[in-house]
């Protein structure tokens, strides 16, 4: 029935519930209780996740390196028949600071000095010390010693140590590397450690605008163990600055050429994994590095027949250097920048594990 003129339904304003009653209505209160309960549940999940987190997280590469070294020493002490001296640090231990004395430092200026002599001198000195902890003050090996053409003698001593022969990374780092490049005994189209080149092209960021100018100014060879005898694609001295520039800061075309020559020698290679990650780069350098990688991937996959070209999955994590090194050690072939400490360490560990020298190349 239609309302009659003058009735309250036309003349009286419609009543609106008060704001306070709407705020505390039963339906809204039920919703608020639901969201409060949901928030408490999420907080509980986060709280227990924190409690379940590893009690010893990796805080940086140095901490990871120290843990790995201790692990390697423990393994070598259990399995090696050779007796080696291991110095354990304890709060109550008698300690000795062993400075780098002048008679050792004087040898650094000699062009024909044998680094093995210095290493044997330290071995003899440590064997005579009746202490539980030895701290060596100063640099044991300076660049002049590590650049010596007689580095082979030092390598022969270090490579026979059980610490190097049985050196392994922590299980979580090995697992991360295995997820990136799994091992496979059967031929497969997917990237594995058996068909992949691990590539390390550039020196790490430093305070020097052009870190490649330093070895050129000193006429230095490749870094430490990267210039031992028998490795392919070595660095020939004396060299011009242009040659240093080509080998230290290779262009995309140079890298493509080196990878192609390696694949001719080892046809099983089908994939490339690049470990030049973002660690230590600022935003501008990171953008430039990404452009470089995309250019490299385009050249390799579209023009040169490589199946895949991937970048470091470890990214900018603090443990990425250790993961990248594990990949470089276990990959079928390693191609690195011979002027980097990373390449020197990779060479030492690969050869200690029995990898053929022919599977190590330099840009």
Domain with 284 in it: what CATH number? 3.40.50.11350
Is the same domain home to 176 and 136? Answer: no
Pairing, β 333-336 against β 360-362: parallel
Residue range(s) defining the domain that contains residue 197: 170-362
How much is the pLDDT for 272?
Answer: 93
Separation of alpha carbons 143 and 259, rounded Å: 30
Q: Is the backbone peptide bond immediately before 238 cis, with ω within 30 degrees of 0?
A: yes
Residues 248 and 133 occupy one common structural domain: no
Residue 29 lies in a domain: no
Looking at the DSSP bridge assignments, the partners of residue 152 are: none
- Check residue 359 and report its DSSP letter: G
How buried is residue 208: exposed, middle or buried, by Cβ count under 10 Å (0-12/13-18/19+)? exposed
Is the same domain home to 195 and 284?
Answer: yes
Tell me: do 149 and 253 sit in the same domain: no
- For the chain, which ranges sit under pLDDT 50? 1, 9-10, 23, 48-62, 64-65, 68-69, 72-73, 75-77, 79-93, 102-103, 109-111
Cβ(299)–Cβ(326) below 8 Å: no
4 lies in a domain?
no
Adjacent-strand bridge partners of 95: 133
Q: At what angle do helices 283-298 and 252-265 cross, to 10 degrees?
A: 50
Q: Is the separation of the CB atoms in 277 and 312 below 8 Å?
A: yes
Query: 224 and 275: one domain?
Result: yes
pLDDT score of 13: 53
Residue 103 lies in a domain: yes
Q: Taken in order 106, 109, 113, 119, is the CA torsion positive or negative?
A: positive
Is the pTM higher than 0.75? no
The domain boundary residue, chosen from 109, 126, 158: 158
Q: 209 with 343, same domain?
A: yes
Residues 317-334 as b/e (b if ≥16 CB within 10 A, e otherwise) read bbbbbbbbbbbbbbbbbb
Total number of domains in the chain: 2
């Amino acid at each position: 029935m239609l309302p009659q003129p003058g009735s309250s339904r036309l003349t009286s304003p419609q009543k609106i519930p008060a704001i306070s009653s709407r705020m505390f209505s039963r339906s809204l209160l039920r919703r608020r209780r639901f969201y409060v309960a949901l928030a408490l549940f999420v907080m509980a999940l986060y709280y227990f996740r924190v409690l379940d987190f590893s009690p010893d997280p990796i805080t940086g590469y140095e901490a990871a390196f120290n843990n790995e070294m201790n692990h390697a020493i423990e393994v070598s002490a259990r399995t090696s028949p050779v007796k080696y001296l291991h110095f354990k640090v304890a709060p109550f231990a008698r300690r000795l600071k062993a400075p780098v004395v002048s008679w050792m430092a004087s040898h650094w200026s000699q062009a024909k000095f044998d680094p093995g002599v210095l290493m044997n001198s330290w071995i003899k000195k440590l064997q005579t010390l009746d202490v539980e902890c030895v701290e060596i003050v100063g640099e044991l090996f300076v660049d002049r010693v590590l650049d010596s053409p007689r580095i082979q003698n030092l390598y022969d001593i270090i490579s026979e140590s059980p610490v190097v022969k049985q050196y392994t990374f922590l299980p979580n780092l090995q697992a991360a590397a295995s997820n990136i490049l799994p091992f496979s005994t059967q031929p497969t189209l997917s990237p594995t450690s058996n068909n992949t080149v691990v590539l390390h092209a550039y020196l790490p960021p430093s305070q020097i605008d052009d870190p490649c100018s330093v070895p050129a100014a000193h006429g230095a060879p490749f870094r430490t163990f990267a210039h031992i005898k028998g490795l392919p694609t070595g660095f020939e001295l004396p060299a011009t600055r242009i040659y240093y520039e080509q080998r230290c800061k290779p262009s995309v075309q140079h890298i493509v050429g080196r990878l192609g020559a390696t694949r001719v020698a080892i046809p099983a290679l089908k994939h490339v994994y690049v470990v030049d990650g973002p660690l230590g780069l600022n935003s501008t350098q990171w953008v430039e590095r990404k452009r470089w990688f995309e250019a490299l991937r385009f050249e390799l996959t579209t023009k040169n027949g490589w199946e895949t070209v991937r970048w470091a999955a470890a990214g900018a994590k603090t443990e990425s250097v250790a993961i990248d090194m594990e990949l470089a050690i276990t990959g079928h072939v390693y191609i690195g920048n011979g002027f980097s400490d990373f390449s020197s360490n990779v060479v030492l560990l690969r050869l200690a594990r029995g990898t053929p020298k022919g599977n190590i190349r330099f840009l």
